[in-house]
Every structure is written in structure tokens, then in C-alpha cells.
Structure 1
Amino acid sequence: MVYSNRLDILRHLTDNSTHSIPPTMPSSPFFHLPLELRRQIYTTFFSTLHLPYPTLTHPLLHTSHQIRSEAQNLFYNNARFSLQTTEHFVNYLSSIPRYTLEQLRHVEVKGYPFPLYPSEGYGSYFTFDFSSVVLLFPGLQLHTLILHDPYHGKNVGEDGWGHDASYNEVGDLIKNGRGWKNLVFKSENDHMMEVVRFTSIDRAGNRNEEVHGRDKQPGTWDRLIKERDGEGEGAGVEMWVCQEGGKREKVDAEVGYKVRGEGWEDVGIEIRVRRGKGADCVQDGKVGCVYDEKLLEIFRRMNWREIKENELLLDGEEDPCRHL
């Protein structure tokens, strides 16, 4: 109850804030509290904030210079920033200084593909996935990255390419991902876990089938993160089935997940990845494949504003599977 009353003081200060920042607010009883207690209250208050793009600040920081100096780092450390698309993610992180980027701890984003022409007049474009885009922001060190699957769900033209893209994205982040300590990957259904079959016919009329299987999960992913960070370091991967009404069921790693198949109502899945205690999770910008290098090369030649001005970015959100 005491905390609630003190949080109410913060809300009162927020409600009475203006765009011009006064130097102090000495009349407020809040400033009679010890600094350490004020910091605890800031932390509790900011932990309740879920800020959707483009609203990525809070009126409390504009109430006085004193509050701003005391609370700004705690704001970035504790608020959750909801960047609904990959483009929003790049927009925001490109707009803040390196020091602020290093303070961010909680980000939520829908990881749409990032289709990009390498230069003006170039005849074809490259599609980069979210795990490559994170490389653009060295110094990023999130506590939690919540990544929503863009290739599955209502009003999405799902196909085998999208199933593979989601499944491989999780694997790539587990094997090579940096910039976060905890990853939560959310998908609206379990279709990414299906075996994918592609059929083609060659010039001679022969029918060929290519099969993309699935390992037993989450056991294989769990083994990969433990190999990366150390068996006894607390690293691990869990998989949860999310049903209507908020019911959740943990998947037995030894048994593995079984796709529900036709006739079953779609269930969401959630994959939780935890890095080891001693793991270096800071994004360092090191490339893991040729595509990563291609993306960094584009951004070395042009900044984000120039890329958009030259219309090199395509819309990857309306029909995400089309770009795979």
C-alpha cells in the first residue's frame, strides 16, 4: 500500500507535467524521500510501462531536470518498448545514441522480413531476416527480446517457405544470436514445426520431392544452447503450448513436440531461450554468413535515412512469405 501511494505521487507529477522541463519541483513530498527509495519507486513504476512505437518516452521524464537525471537510465532499463515491425525496430534504434541503446533491456517486436535493394538501379533485392538486422546495433544488450513470428497467424498467406523461415530463425538465434540474455519466440500456431515438402518437375518431366524435416524439439535446441554456453551455466530452451483461456502446457524435451495436425484447433507455441550465466550477450556486430556481410555492407555505404529516401526498402509486412 505504501508503494502504491508513492507511485500515485509519480502519476500526479506526470499528469501535471508540461513540455518545458522545470529545474526542480521542491514542493512535492516525493523529493523528501531518500534517493535510494526514489530510485526503487522509479524502477517499480517503469516496470509497469509497455510503450508502443512511436510513443517511446514518458511524460514523467519531462516533469523536472532532477527527475530526468535521476530516472532516465532506470526508464530505459525497465520499460518494455514495443516495436511492432522490423522497420520500427531499425527506425528507433537508429534514432538514439549508442549510450541510450546500451541501456535498453526489454524490447518486443514482430520480426518481419527486411527486403532491401543493395543500391539504386539494382535489378533484384535481398531479404534479410531479423537475426541479421540485430547485427546493425553493436552494444545492444537486452535482458529480454520478445520476437513474434510474422509468417503464421490470421490473415497470413502461410506456406512451406514461411514454416522453414520461422523454424530456422529460432535455430539461428540459438546458435549465433547476440544482443539479448533471454529470447521469447511466439507463434500463433504450430505450423512451423511441420515437416515441409516441396515438389518440382524437371525438364524431363520427372517429379522430384524435397523434404525439410524437423529435429526433436525443444531437446535439440536445448542441447545447442548448452553446447554454446556451457552445460552447468544455466542455459536452456523450453517450449510451451499456449491454448485459449490462458492455459499453458510445457513440452517434454525428451518426448518432443507433436504437431496437432488437421482437425485440431490451432494452438500457439512459445519458445523460451535462456543464455548461460557467464555468456557474453552484448551484440558485437560480427557476421555469421555472407548475407550478414551483405547487409552490413549496404549500411556502410548509406545510413538508414538515405536508404529510405532512395526507396531501397520494400514492404515486408503485407505479404511476408512472398519475400522468401
Structure 2
Amino acid sequence: MARTKKKGKAKAKTQNQQIFPQTLSPLLQLPGELRNQIYNCLFASTRLTFGERNTGPITRKIMRPAINSLAILRVCRQINQEARSLWLGEILFSFEVVKNLLDKFSTLPSSTLSQIRNPIGGDDDVFYKLAWALKLLPGMNLDNLTVLGSSGGAIAYDALGGLIKHGNGWRELHFITANSEMLGFAKVRTFMAGPCWRKPQPSTWNDILLRRDGANSGASVTIYRSTQSHSPGTVIDPRTRQIFEQKVPSPKDLEIFGVAEDKQLLAEDEIGKELLVVVKRGHGANIREQDTPPYKSIDDIRQWSHGMTWAEIKHQCIDFSIPMDDDDDYDDDFFAEGYETDEVDDYTRVDDYVWEPFNWMA
């Protein structure tokens, strides 16, 4: 139902309001350098969440940020002018799946996209692989990208391997899984792909990254494993994690490594420990994604999309059952009006995350 304003009451209220000069504001009396530090602290502790979160096998909630997340930008003209160039580089964008990230970011100009520094998102491997999907954002230049990987070991392993081998647009990647299956599953054939055969890690991933960025570039892959089982969030706390490394005694053992599952890692009291893989690109590595062909792999989503926008790709390959009107307006407003099933993102710490109920830890 459309809402109408009661003009008479609104006018009377405005006339009775007492307007104070900006010069009386304690915040605006501080030096500009201190105000910028306050803005940065505020934005660094703020998260904007978007997308559909699965709350059960067939139930979902549409997540949205609190409506007052960026209220400081609406306080007054001076604060808006001072802070509006700071929030994109400090705030944490959170997306339930990659599709939601592309929905928001693909419509942004490169000049805006390049200012974003800290997104977090889930790994959706159903329609496309994460490393290739991100190539549709050639202007992206992130300081940190955090990915909540699938609980399925082979799917998470394949997604992370693709990011290490082909991923661009980020300086540091944090890949988190809800359990330890990613480093303990038996050789398996993945959906619409060849066999997924894990290798000793992080040494194998380190070798791949150093070949990309240079042997002396300082590029690295480090694995952390939680010391507590079935305790979400413990792997991001240095007090409740430890470095993890898989070692192979001999070349003969390497030939059969990963064929069978790692029974010790997947034991009942061990499988529920989270994993965090930190990937750091090398010094001087060019992380900017090229936006013109030729592309380096036949798996690159741009090879077959032939210049289509993300909206066109999504319509043709994912939302093909929904009619598309040529006059559709793809709204890039971060605060689009929600639905009755919306849920406001609630968090205590900005880097808190929630595992979906069926993303269970065995």
C-alpha cells in the first residue's frame, strides 16, 4: 500500500523544531584529522549484508543491512562531504553467494569499484566457479577477500584451487570452511568436471602461487586449523587455531596421496574443526583483471559470454524462466525496499559469520 505524507503535521513539526548551528557540534569542533579517524573507525566496524540466506533445506531469508548503517552520511552537508569518500574503502560488504556480489558490483563504474576494499561472500559452485565469476569485475582491486567455502570438501578444494591459480582482483584471500573435509576427502569426480584429487597442502598451492607471482615475490599460502571442534568462528581467533601442514615422507607416498580419505583428519572428533587458508599475492604482482581478450583459459566465463553483461548472463543461464522486459531498470541502490521475509543483519563483531544449517559439520 502506498504511503502518503500528512503535509500539515509535517510543516508544523518543522516550524517547531529548534535548529542548532553546526559550530556547536562537539564532533565538528575536533580537528579534521581526528574526525577522519572517527569516520574510519565507524566504517571499519560496519557491515552491509545482501542476498538470500538459506535457513533450512527449503527455507530462505532475504538479508539486508540495517537501514541506519550509513546514517552518518545524512547528518549534515559538511559531514557528508568529509566522509563520503572514506566509507567504500573501510566498510565490510557481505554477500550470501557470489551471485549477490555480482548483482551489486557489476553495475558500478570502475572508479567506484576500485575503491572497495573488504568484501566477504559465500562460495556458490552450482552455475559457475568463483574464480571465473569474479573476472566479470575487471576494476576490482581489493585489499582483502573473504570466502566462506562449501562444507563439501571437494567443492571447496576446487574453488580455492581455482582462486589460487587464476584469481585476480585481491591482495589477500581468506578462505574459510566449516570443517576439515577439504583437506581429507578421497579422490572424487566433481560435477561436470574431471576428478578432484587433492595434493599435500599448502606446499602444492604455494608452488602454484610462486609460479604466478615469482619465486622471490614473497607470495604465500598458509593454512590454519581450529583447535576446537564444532565451534564456528574459532579459526579466525589466533588463540584458538594452529598452523596446519601436510607432509609426505617419500615420492612413493606422493603417488597415492589423496586417493583415499585421511581417516585421522576426518575422525569424529577432528572433522568438525574449521579451516582458514590465507593466500597472499606476491610483492609487485599485478592483481588487476584484464578486461579485453585474449583470455588465458577456455574455462574463463568471458570466453563464451562474448561481452555480455552480468545481468544478461544471469538471465540467459540462471534466471531463464523469468521473463525479461527490455525496459527493466536494474537498480543498483544498496538499500532497495525489502520484502516481508527480510531479515536485518545482526552482528556483534564486523567479521562474525554464520554457517547455514545444512552446511553442517559431521
Could you state the TM-score of these two structures normalised by the residue count of structure 1? 0.70
- Counterpart residue number, 2:269: 264
Distance 2:24 2:119 in 1: 36
Partner residue in 2 for 1:87: 99
Residues in 2 aligned to 1:28 and 1:267: alpha-carbon distance in whole angstroms: 49
The secondary structure found in structure 2 opposite 1:32 is: coil
Query: Which residue number in structure 1 is paired with residue 280 of structure 2?
Result: 274
In the aligned structure 1, how far is the partner of 2:111 from the partner of 2:181? 40
Give the paired residue count. 262
User: Is residue 112 from structure 1 mapped to residue 134 from structure 2 by the alignment?
Assistant: no
The corresponding residue for 2:216 is: 232
Q: 2: distance between equivalents of 1:60 and 1:296?
A: 44
CA–CA distance in structure 2, aligned partners of residues 25 and 282 of structure 1:
42
Q: Give secondary structure in 2 for the equivalent of 1:239.
A: strand
Distance 2:268 2:186 in 1: 17
**1:178 CA displacement:** 0.5
Deviation, 1:236, is: 0.6
- 1:255 CA drift (Å): 6.3
Identify unmatched segments of 5+ residues in structure 2. 1-18, 51-63, 235-239, 250-257, 323-355
3-state DSSP of counterpart to 2:208: helix
Matches within 5 A, 1:1-324: 25-53=22-50, 54-55=64-65, 58-113=70-125, 115=127, 128-150=128-150, 152=151, 162-193=152-183, 194-197=185-188, 212-244=196-228, 246=234, 247-252=240-245, 260-265=265-270, 266-285=272-291, 287-294=295-302, 297=305, 300-301=307-308, 304=311, 307-308=314-315, 311-312=319-320
Deviation at 1:251, TM superposition (A): 1.0
Q: Secondary structure at the match of 2:286?
A: coil
Distance (Å, rounded) in 1 between the aligned partners of 2:172 and 2:300: 22
Give aligned-pair identity as a percent. Answer: 25
Q: Is the 8 A contact 2:103 2:310 kept in 1?
A: no
Letter in 2 for 1:251: F
Cα shift at 1:274: 0.6
RMSD (CA atoms)? 3.3
Counterparts of 2:241 and 2:274 in 1: how far apart (Å)? 10
For residue 270 of structure 1, report the CA deviation from its aligned partner. Answer: 0.9
- Rounded to whole Å, the distance in 2 between the matches of 1:304 and 1:255 is 46
Structure 1 residues 202-236: Cα deviation after superposition (integer angstroms, max 9, x where no partner): xxxxxxxx974321101111222222223333211
Q: Deviations over 1:234-277 (max 9, x none)?
A: 21110011243532111136569965123334211111101112
TM-score between both structures, scaled by the size of structure 2: 0.63
Q: Which has the higher helix share?
A: 1
Quickly say closer, same or farther: Cα 1:101–1:296, change in 2 above 3 A: farther
> 2-side partners of 1:311 and 1:243: how far apart?
42
